[in-house]
Structure 1
Amino acid sequence: MTESPGSDANAPSRNRKRFPGISSRSYEHPADRSALVALRKLSGFDTVFKTLSGLLPERSLRLLFLSDSVRVSDQQFAHLHAMLRDACYVLDLEKVPPMYVNQDPQPNAMCIGLDEPIIVVTTGLVELLDEEEMRAVVGHEVGHALSGHAVYRTILLFLTNLATKVAWIPLGNVAVMAIVTALREWFRKSELSADRAGLLVGQDLQASMRGLMKLAGGNHLHEMNVDAFLKQAEEYESGGDLRDSVLKILNLLPRSHPFTTVRAAELKKWAESRDYQRIMDGHYPRRDEDKDASVSDSFKDSAAHYADSVRTSKDPLMGLVRDIAGGAGDLGGKLRDTVFGTRPNGNDTNGASGSDGSESAGK
């Protein structure tokens, strides 16, 4: 049963800004936003989607959490209940969604549901994070709820489970996995959006960074360093050659979440942006303006984001894309040099000698 957040009972436990009427468009990642606006603008899409989703055991799912998890309230996990109401107050979410703690040592959280969202966090996550880190996670999940991500996340969970059941049918798994892959690509972008929502709720970048580091390295903060963690993201993006670029894509495809170092770098970049500062200053899109949101404008924003990503990326594959877009002359040579590390004079980066094709025997 959902609650209606009261302005007094929901007041933040410390002095943080509130964002009355804030639209999820204010914090959504450009690719996430354009995809969602386009889907919502399709005539009857939600109705058809939910009709086709009639087989989803949502009632069973809700009963499962009700019967085999702990429902957060002022009597159970009261500190999480306060954080949840606080997050809904800060983001001005009309109803406080039900929240459950599920026994699972794996740190995780999710926002699911077709009719109304519910939030689930695992005991592994509750035990791993401190209060401010957990506040960012709760804000992250409330951000999913405000953006309407729960419906698509539920579909993704259902189809992922379905894919394993039809794997034995010839070609049966191909169509399902194609949809799953597309949904995962969208959901990875939605996670970047929700990270931003978590920062708006917690308003503590260091707490958000610590939480992401703990997801990667466990509860060993004394052994970790935020700056060094962010350098990993830079090394991941810029290191290697085209072979590594392809491996990065293959590693990412089966995942529902972006890599934690990448999430940390993306969030820090956004926290230092003018867009974030404008929101903190009270200048942001309102929900009552959402009906006027232009699909074409969202796609333009998304295209501009990707163009900027290609322009500024240090990834070798993106460098090759820039060369192609710029009409580079010797693309074959550039491709050979990037993949095999060969130099224009015929020597490779591993010390192979050139003209006669012989190799040095260095170890």
Structure 2
Amino acid sequence: MTTDGTGGAPARRRVALTGISSRAWEHPADRGALTALRELRGFDDVVKAFFGMWNERAFRLSYLAAAIRVDHRQYPRIHRLYAEAGAALDVPALPELFVTQSPWLTAEAIGLDRPFIVISSACAQQFDDDELRCLLGHELGHVGSGHAVYKTILSILTRWAANLSWLPVGALALRAIIAAMLEWWRKAELSGDRAGLLAGQDPGAALRLLMKLAGGGDLSQIDTTAFLEQATEYDGGGDLRDSLHKIRMTAWSTHPVPVARAADLRRWIDSGEYARLLDGEYPRREDDGLTSVSAEIKAAAESYREAFGRSQDPLVGLLRRLGDGASDLGEWAGGGATRARSWMSAAGDAATRAAGRTRRSGRGDASAGSDGADDDGTDPRGR
């Protein structure tokens, strides 16, 4: 009898989560922001404006030309695991999947109209079946939530910030929007981790995946309990200097650090939510139209408050001891989804104007999408 890889109960047989909505795996802060963004008036027009600046067809052709498209003849092992992950998440039609040559453990969900997934050859070589199934489920989760659309927008805004760096006022405003979107994207990564776990339904493999992202492919001398102890020390160890270092490390990052992702996934499992979803207690896609924006934003606010109350970070502890100041900070953090909505609206207006200028000038920005993807791993650039 196999176990879940963490010393817990025996591993369950994978079940198909028929009709499951992406809301089931989305982190509350991610779900609140997504729900608010989808309700923006004219948002479809904004997405089309961005799409006009990003030649998705050309980008897909670059992978068709220089990567391996996975099917029953090419990488049949990965093809089988991909189908199993898709079956667990009840994906109606699997996006195209490519393997590209790279020594780094990376994976991406790319595209707006017809999203596709790319994983590195290192993933194919260093992840076992259970870990790879989890990774593929992570990327399917991004596709199901529509994350690639917003990440493409983020990449374009980042390019604008670089181009406008000589304008202090414009650059500061744009960087504030980017910082808000990066905070949302870090929560979207936590959503992807939960989708990966639901696809593989093996908590041990999900944690091993994060351990390999942190320390490489050889886990023969690595211990899950010790890795989670690192997460605890990262959260609460040190003094205020460490708190400031953590802010510097994460403020402009698209991904939470691996130990933080492992700790969040472990908390989600321990909360009982994961087991309830496997037992069939999950939102259905057919009910997505009934989603309440105000309810989702309230849930996002509550998740920030809970994180604030749970954190052992020295700076957060100091703010809690200040009493009213801590309460004010909790309220400010809880309003993150609402601010993301207003900031995205402003960014969308700017995008629409820029797209109009681009069309009038008769040229597009075909390279903007090269970063418009989910980079689920680490590389020497620190992405």
Report the TM range for the smaller structure's normalisation.
0.7 to 0.9
Equivalent position of 1:183 in the other structure: 181
- Aligned residue pairs, count: 315
Q: Is the 8 A contact 1:163 1:173 kept in 2?
A: yes
The change in CA–CA distance for 1:234 and 1:222 in structure 2 (over 3 A counts) is same
2:115 corresponds to: 117
Distance between the aligned counterparts of 2:76 and 2:152, measured in 1? 27
- Supply the AA of the counterpart residue of 1:209: L
Cα offsets for 1:142-187 (capped at 9, x unmatched)? 1111111111122233444554455566666545444332222111
Q: Kindly indicate whether residue 98 of structure 2 is the aligned counterpart of residue 100 of structure 1.
A: yes
2:37 pairs with 1:36: no
Matched residue type, 1:296: S
Aligned to 2:130: 132
Conserved? CA contact 1:33–1:298, under 8 Å = yes
Deviation, 1:302, is 1.1
Q: Which of 77, 80, 86 is equivalent to 1:79? A: 77
Q: Write out per-residue CA displacement over residues 78-108 of structure 1, whole angstroms, 9 at most, x where no aligned residue.
A: 1111222222211111211011111111110
Counterpart position of 2:222: 224
Aligned to 1:18, the other structure's residue is in SS state: coil
Residue of structure 1 in register with 2:279 after alignment: 281
> CA–CA distance in 1 between the matches of 2:207 and 2:161?
34
Which of 52, 55, 73 aligns to 1:54? It is 52
Deviations 1:42-84 (A, max 9, x none): 1221322222441112222111111111111111111111222
**Partners of 1:236 and 1:100 in 2: CA distance:** 35
User: Computing the radius of gyration over CA atoms, which structure comes out larger, 1 or 2?
Assistant: 1
Residue 248 of structure 1, aligned match among 243, 246, 249: 246
Tell me how far 1:135 sits from its aligned partner: 0.6
Q: State how far apart, in whole Å, the 2-side matches of 1:226 and 1:36 are.
A: 33
RMSD: 2.0
The one-letter code sitting in structure 1 at the alignment partner of 2:279 is: D
3-state SS of 2:220 partner: helix
Classify the secondary structure of the residue corresponding to 1:284.
coil
Unmatched 5+ stretches in structure 1? 1-13, 329-363
- Given the two structures, how large is their TM-score scaled by the length of structure 1? 0.82
For the Cα contact (< 8 Å) 2:111–2:149, is it kept in 1? Answer: yes
Conserved 8 A contact 2:319-2:325 = no
Matches within 5 A, 1:192-271: 192-271=190-269
- 2:351 is aligned to none
Q: Which residue of 2 aligns with 1:147?
A: 145
Q: CA deviation at 1:271?
A: 1.2
Contact 1:24–1:143 (CA under 8 A) maintained in structure 2: yes
Contact 1:233 1:261 in 2 (8 A): yes
SS in 2 for 1:223: coil
Displacement of 1:192 after TM fit? 0.2
Shift of 1:20: 0.7
Which structure is higher in RCO with an 8 Å CA cutoff and minimum separation 6?
A: 2
2:312 paired residue number: 314
* Percent of residue pairs bearing the same amino acid type: 48
Identify if the C-alpha distance between structure 1 residues 173 and 103 changes in structure 2 by more than 3 Å, giving closer, same or farther: farther
Match of 2:300 in 1: 302
Q: Which residue matches 1:7?
A: none
Tell me how far apart the structure 2 counterparts of residues 215 and 327 of structure 1 sit (CA, whole Å): 37
Which residue identity is paired with 1:202?
G
Question: Which residue pairs with 1:4 in the alignment?
Answer: none
- Asked whether the 8 Å contact 2:240–2:314 carries over to 1, the reply is yes
DSSP-derived class of the 1:150 partner: helix
State the shift of 1:257 in Å: 0.8
Partner of 2:61: 63
